[in-house]
Structures are given as structure tokens and as C-alpha cells.
Amino acid sequence: MSGSRIHVGGAGPYDVVVGTGVLGELPAMAGEGARAAAVVHAEGLPEIARPVCRALEKAGLTVHAFPVPDGEAAKEIGVLAGLWSGFAAAGMTRTDVVVGVGGGSTTDLAGFAAASWLRGVRAVLVPTTLLGMVDAAVGGKTGINIPEGKNLVGAFHPPAGVLCDLATLVTMPREDYISGLAEIIKAGFIADPRILELVEADPAGAASPDGPHTRELVERAVQVKADVVSADLKESGLREILNYGHTLAHAIEKAEDYRFRHGHAVAIGMVYAAELARLAGRLPAALVERHRAVLTSVGLPVSYGADWPGLRATMTIDKKARGTTLRFVVLDGLARPGRLEGPAEDLLAAAYREVSR
């Protein structure tokens, strides 16, 4: 079946194809000059990686498969170094291609491996999770984690294309699927309120990959991200709005040793950012409550219980910080994102009390 095509502009333009049975698009995305492909895939997804490898082999490419750990365990320097050594052994050249197959962690890793191998080779991403489709695989951000924080080492490296095959979503564990909804709902709050309306009209449908609006929700969230990164690839201004809820979210993930689902952390982080904006006099209470209502309706958490001082210390090395000044993405109204710079410590703590158990 054909998929819808969402264009991401900018210096390195590419298309995101959303649909079912879209692997036929893969050879063209791999590029005419490629003679070999390194398929980096989550080790728990051999049944999804195999058709990707077959599609490339049918197009005449030599395929080298590189299974990597599932989840955040993939985003470690040791795993990345193993890929570099594997690429060298396979004789990967500048005209060859890296194909990332899996969730957001796998595509983050594969993208960074492509960005850093021979100073940059072509990458094609095949996200297999909801979070990967609407967030990690779109936008050109790549990276790995270090003990000091998440995604602190990485590069901007736009892919040559992204293939979102919605058929892979039905194999996802329910909690992982629901986690991905947080990034879709985020897109609704910062830019496309129609997303919120679709979720509110049918929360059960939104929480299921078989729901009547799954494709539209994915397409709308991808379109929001495409519009933003087309105008600002390297997060010099506008792109920061995509980090709504992420300042506290990344602190939560570090506190939980990255065993906490990203979307769950983002859901809590969005409520925190909404409370921060309310306490700063920038957001009405009704919109804060809409955050809680929409998120809880699909099964996402809106509160967290760790001690504040540790979370606050982690926020200091957030990528949006400038020196010692914290910068938050907040809302001044529905689909009206703004920034809050250097909020007072008592305001930060007060907002956290509103989300702490």
C-alpha cells in the first residue's frame, strides 16, 4: 500500500512516509550510489529486521546486520564503538548507507553511528514504535547517553528518509504504545489542537494502534515536527518548543537510571511546565487541568514522587540551559509556546509540589 508523504525541508530535505507496507520505498531512500547497507536493529526485532534486509538485498545491496540491545541500553558508548568496528570490518564507505530499525533508542544510535562514521554517511530510519515514528526518527537529532545525562553526546544528522510502517505498531506492548502518545499529545498542546480533540473524543481508540484515528494522529504529530525542524534544524530558537515537558522529564529519566519510559516522563514534565506557567501568571488553570485530563484519559501518569533537590540539580545540565540560567518551554495559551528564563527557585519548587505525590 502507498503511504502519505510528509516533507521535511531545510538544508538536508527528506520525506517521512507514513502508511502500511511501505518498505518498497526503502531502496530509493538508500541512494543510487550505495553498494552496502549496515542494518542496525534492536536485537528483539529480528522478524521486523528481516524484511528490511530482504528489501535491500533485492535492490542489489550487500547487507550487514548489526543487532544492538533493546531500549536505552543501546545508547552507550561501548555499543557505538562496536558499530564503528563492525562498519570497518564490513568495509563501509562514504557512499554506503546505515539503516536503523527499531524504537527511538535504536534510531538515535544508528543515526549517530552514521553521523560519525567517516564524518557522515547516509542514514535511513525505519522506526517501529509510536515514539520513534512521531519523535525520535524525525528531525535529525542523534545521540547517546553518558552517566551524567541523556543525549548529551550527539550530532544533528538529517536522515535521507524515514519509513513509518503502521503495521509494526500492533506488536508493541500496550504500555510502550501509550508512552508514545505523550509526544503526540505534546504536539497538540504546542501547535495542533485538533490532536487533543481527537484524543478527547475517543481516548480508548487513541490508546490502541487499531484505533480509528491512529494514522491521522501519527501524521499530524509528524507534520508538527516537520514544520518546526524545517525552519530550525539545530535548535537555535523555534525548535526548542519541541522540548515542552522535557526539562523535568530528562531529570526523571536520569533519576530512574533510564528505566522510566520516556513518554511517561514527558507526560509528568508537561504537567510540571503547565503548573510553572500557571504560577508565573501565564497560563489559566483550566488549561493546566486539560493537560491532566487528556493525559490520564489514555493512561499516562501526571505525578511523580522523587525528592526535588536531586531533580533540580540534574536540570542544571539540561541542554536548554544557558550557563547557570534554566530555560523552560511553557505555554501562554493553547498552541502558543513561549519561554520562561531563570524562574525563581521557590517558583520551581512550588510547581513541583503540584505534581509530586
Active site residues: 119, 141, 183, 225, 235, 239, 243, 246, 250, 262
> Does 75 carry a binding-site annotation?
yes
> Does 214 carry a binding-site annotation?
no
Grid coordinates representing 345 are 527557585
Q: What is the DSSP string of 144-208?
A: EEETTEEEEEEEE---SEEEEEGGGGGGS-HHHHHHHHHHHHHHHHHT-HHHHHHHHH-HHHHTS
> Does 262 carry a binding-site annotation?
yes
> Does 20 carry a binding-site annotation?
no
> Does 47 carry a binding-site annotation?
no
Of the CA atoms within 13 Å of residue 205, those in its CB half-sphere come to 15
> Does 128 carry a binding-site annotation?
yes
> Does 247 carry a binding-site annotation?
no
User: Can you tell me the distance from the alpha carbon of 181 to that of 210, in angstroms, rounded to the nearest whole number?
Assistant: 14
- CB burial of 95-126 (b: ≥16 within 10 Å; e: otherwise) equals ebbbbbbbbbbbbbbbbbbbbbbeeebbbbbb
Say which residues have a Cβ less than 8 Å from residue 297's Cβ, sequence separation at least 6: 199, 200, 203
Max distance between CA atoms of the chain, in angstroms, equals 62
> Does 183 carry a binding-site annotation?
yes
> Does 49 carry a binding-site annotation?
no
3-state secondary structure of 338: strand
> Does 74 carry a binding-site annotation?
yes
> Does 7 carry a binding-site annotation?
no
Of the CA atoms within 13 Å of residue 328, those in its CB half-sphere come to 27
User: Can you tell me the distance from the alpha carbon of 353 to that of 132, in angstroms, rounded to the nearest whole number?
Assistant: 31
Rg (Cα) of the chain, in Å, rounded?
A: 20
Q: What are residue 19's DSSP bridge partners?
A: 165
Polymer length of the chain = 357
CB-CB contact of 61 with 35 (8 Å): yes
Q: What are residue 156's DSSP bridge partners?
A: 141
> Does 71 carry a binding-site annotation?
yes
> Does 238 carry a binding-site annotation?
no
Which residues does the annotation place in the binding site for Zn(2+)? 183, 246, 262
- Binding-site members are 70-75, 128-129, 141, 150, 168-171, 183, 246, 262
- List, as residue ranges, the binding site for NAD(+): 70-75, 128-129, 141, 150, 168-171
